[in-house]
Structure 1
Amino acid sequence: MNQTSRVLFVTPALSVAQRRAAFDDDGPLDPAGAARARAAAGSLPAATRVLVSPSARCRETADALGLAAASARPGLAGIDAGRWRGRTLDEVGAADPETLGRWLTEPDAAAPGGESVAQVCARVARWLGGVEPGSGRLIAVVEPDVVRAAVVHATGAPPSAFWRLDVAPLTVTELSGRLGRWNVALGHALGGA
């Protein structure tokens, strides 16, 4: 019996906040991002289960891709930016450069009222640990932060590698594995995207 599990992490289309280089404020996809997601509908293989991060842009992307039956999972949420939510990186850098610098370089440093890189990496590692062997193919439309954390865990990289991983919109990163060991196939573009 094949005990291999597959998780296809799909990143959402570009959002209005991303266009502004702002921390996610649970806003919608921008029109061009939504159109690109609709164009990629039907390009994913069949799955036993479809999951989604609770953010608006992940839910909208899942819907645009034809994955309307997606089930929201709080454990797959993007990193919590706390009081920086909705602000641009430039605004935060101008107001509190030291805290931002620590958050970007020290995995245990958290955004004010938010989450550290180490915390999101641990949360995603716990989720991956709960994927049942032989559970088939799962598709999860998730924030890029979740993909970073999953790759950090799967490769055994330290949490300090988190910000060194670039994750493009509308790409698929596949983890396949058994017995707690994961292999990684990085960043395949979705058809039409």
Structure 2
Amino acid sequence: MPMAKLMILRHAPPLSDGRLAGRTDVAADCSDGAACDWMRARIGVSGEVLCSPARRCRQTAAALGLAPDRTCDWLWEQDFGIWEGLAYDALPDLGALPPAGLAAHRPEGGESFDDMAARIHAGISGLDHDALLVAHAGTVRAALALVVGPAALSFSVAPLSLTVLRRAGAGWAVEAVNVTAP
């Protein structure tokens, strides 16, 4: 595989009223013009731009003046099944699970992190050139799992943050995680 730079931009803050919005199609708060300007400059020339079909991702791309080359269903956030729309404080307590156990847990009617990561990894494996993905926190963690495995679930991924990975041959390296405007 040729060398490739993969930038993953998490969407701007979701307008989800403090509720889990994995596959729920909510809007984004793109009102922080200074942060959008800073991120646009940080991204620079990015190669191909791929975007999740989610409204919050499309709105974020537009706020940064990005015109996605295509939307990709494989970039959707994790499907949280019956947990979708629950207030964060109403989510079930899974107790102490090791990273691999948490990654394998599948909410009823949804997908596990491992399921989502397999979907994301399949999409990323088809990229042999520089690309910018406008997507979700789960997408970022799934990409990081290419390097660190299920421990990627421990990464905090802020809204409107940038994570950068580089591929040389078959391996990936992390260049930057959770870069945000100052």
TM-score by length of 2: 0.84
Question: How is 1:19-168 mapped onto 2 (pairs within 5 angstroms)?
Answer: 20-24=18-22, 25-30=24-29, 32=31, 35=33, 38-40=36-38, 42-43=40-41, 44-93=43-92, 97=93, 105-132=101-128, 135=129, 137-153=130-146, 155=147, 157-159=148-150, 161-168=151-158
Q: List per-residue Cα deviations over 1:31-70 (Å, max 9, x = no partner).
A: 646x455444631211221001121111110110111234
Q: Distance in 1 between matches of 2:163 and 2:154?
A: 16
Percent identity between the two aligned chains: 26
Shift of 1:109: 1.7
The unaligned stretches of length 5 or more in structure 2 are none
Q: Residue 182 of structure 1 is aligned with which of 172, 175, 179?
A: 172
Against the structure 1 CA distance between its residues 56 and 36, is the aligned structure 2 distance closer, same or farther, given a 3 Å change threshold?
farther
The unaligned stretches of length 5 or more in structure 1 are none
Q: Distance in 2 between matches of 1:60 and 1:13?
A: 8
Question: What residue in structure 2 maps to residue 170 of structure 1?
Answer: 160
Q: Distance in 1 between matches of 2:171 and 2:85?
A: 37
Residues paired across the two proteins, number: 178
Q: List per-residue Cα deviations over 1:115-163 (Å, max 9, x = no partner).
A: 101111211222222112xx2x21111101011011111x1x332x232
One-letter amino acid of the structure 1 residue matched with residue 64 of structure 2: L
Q: Distance in 1 between matches of 2:140 and 2:153?
A: 11
One-letter amino acid of the structure 2 residue matched with residue 75 of structure 1: W
Q: Distance in 1 between matches of 2:52 and 2:34?
A: 19
SS in structure 1 of the partner of residue 103 of structure 2: coil
TM-score by length of 1: 0.80
